[in-house]
Amino acid sequence: MEKYLIVNPGSASKKYALFNNKGEKLISFHFEKEGKRFIATTNFGGRSQISIFGGRLISVFAQDFVFKTLIEKNIIIAKEEIITCGVRIVAPGKFFAVHRVLDNKFLAKLKEANTAAPLHIGPALEEIRSAIKFFPKAKIIAVSDSAFYDALPLRSKFYGLPVKDCKKFGIYRFGYHGISMTSILNKLKSFGRLPERIIVCHLGGGVTVSAVKKGLPIDTSMGFTPLEGALMATRPGDIDAGAVLYLAKKKKFNFEQLENYLNKECGLLGLSGLSSDIRELLAKEKKDKNAKLALEIFVYRLAKYIGSYIASLGGLDLLIFSATIGERSSIMRNRICRYLEHFGVVLDPNKNKKMITQPTLICHDKSKVKIAVTPTDEMTEMYRVSKSFSSD
């Protein structure tokens, strides 16, 4: 039977999943850093197996581990069974706002865009090269993380720059985490009527807050690149462009140094001076004032985005938390919602503290706004996109 390998290289982790032609997920892998080591969690047959490795997590190693595991568990007999490989692409530009079959033109454009979103494009290029090596006969599908936001209204797409420059250089707000958004909305549709006014908080290493009205995006926090928006693990989010220019002069940064600084040394990591991991900061906040400050800023900025989007939507019917922090951290959900109580957003503390693995309402009976934790399934959504190209 034909198989589809789905690859999701995130800014702080890597995920792989193998699907059959019927859309059944046969096995999945999740690689994530933990201190100076990385952990691979393999989910197969209803069981999880954890493998711990030292050193740097690179795509060649990860895909080699995946390939060997598929053979060992008799999930595939030969690599030719994998006919399609779908790879998540996070890159600015109208060209990348469409799902495409990967070819030489796409690779060339992706390399050109690498400086704009290095946390994602570099890893994506690694994954693509590895996929070509391990599965040379597979069709590779570039699954756009911005396609969902192509429907943004112009008032949300444009910056306050001369329009001629925006058009000439392709500088628009493209938005990211669109695959996650599509997954969440599809889940809501499967449960019945889609609420008219929704705000989704995708809270992971990267953070996106999106406003959706009648199923379409009207605004989102990330912009031309994933640097814009709320505070993130290692990215500063919104910052005065003048401050960036001033900082570059003072620290005598060249372009590459500035790029690395903004993408890898700021955010929760930069503010705390300790870690980009919410779990570690929560454990240390009582004794470390910088850890406490980093968490306060993270929550405050999220609350500001949600509040502004309530204004944009003309009210709110449903607030959704998703991705690693949104799905796992009841503490952070509680802190964010405290800011929003005057909008009628009221959590139920008991519902909020429960372990959540499927779409669950966590709002109090007196809440005027529905609050839900909705686990995202980017891998299944990427499979759907990849499968749509299989007959082309």
Pairing relation of β-strands 207-213 and 197-203? antiparallel
Using a 10 angstrom Cβ sphere, with 0-12 exposed, 13-18 middle and 19 or more buried, the burial of residue 336 is buried
pLDDT digits (tens, 9 = 90+) for 119-143: 678 888 888 988 888 888 899 999 9
Among the ranges given (74-88, 218-232, 269-283), the one the predictor scored with the smallest mean pLDDT: 74-88
Radius of gyration of the chain (CA): 21
- CA–CA distance, 205 with 182 (Å, rounded to integer): 19
Amino acid, single-letter form, for residue 152: L
Structure token digits, residue 59: 């795509």
- CA–CA distance, 336 with 326 (Å, rounded to integer): 10
Please indicate whether residue 145 is annotated as part of the active site.
Answer: yes
pTM over 0.75: yes
Name the CATH topology of 189-373: Nucleotidyltransferase; domain 5 (3.30.420)
pLDDT digits (tens, 9 = 90+) for 292-340: 999 999 999 999 999 999 999 999 999 999 999 999 999 999 999 999 9
Give the E-state strand segments of 263-365 in sequence order: 318-322, 360-361
Say yes or no to pLDDT of 60 above 90.
no
Cα 99 to chain centroid, rounded: 17
Q: Does residue 256 or residue 208 have the better pLDDT?
A: 208
* Superfamily covering domain 3-144: ATPase, nucleotide binding domain (3.30.420.40)
Domains 3-144 and 189-373 fall in the same CATH topology: yes
Say yes or no to pLDDT of 82 above 90.
yes
- Residue 378 pLDDT: 95
Query: How is the chain split into domains, by residue range?
Result: 3-144, 189-373
- Residue 83 pLDDT: 94
Say yes or no to pLDDT of 355 above 90.
no
- CA–CA distance, 97 with 172 (Å, rounded to integer): 11
Catalytic residue among 145, 219, 277, 377: 145
Say yes or no to pLDDT of 392 above 60.
no
- CA–CA distance, 163 with 320 (Å, rounded to integer): 34
Say yes or no to pLDDT of 280 above 60.
yes
pLDDT digits (tens, 9 = 90+) for 63-80: 888 989 999 999 999 888
With CA atoms as reference, report the closest residue to 387 among 133, 22, 9: 22
Say yes or no to pLDDT of 58 above 70.
no
Say yes or no to pLDDT of 57 above 70.
no
- CA–CA distance, 193 with 278 (Å, rounded to integer): 34
Say yes or no to pLDDT of 11 above 70.
no
Say yes or no to pLDDT of 59 above 70.
no
State residue 316 phi and psi, 5-degree precision.
Answer: -150, 130
Determine contact, residues 208/321, Cβ cutoff 8 Å: no
- CA–CA distance, 105 with 109 (Å, rounded to integer): 6
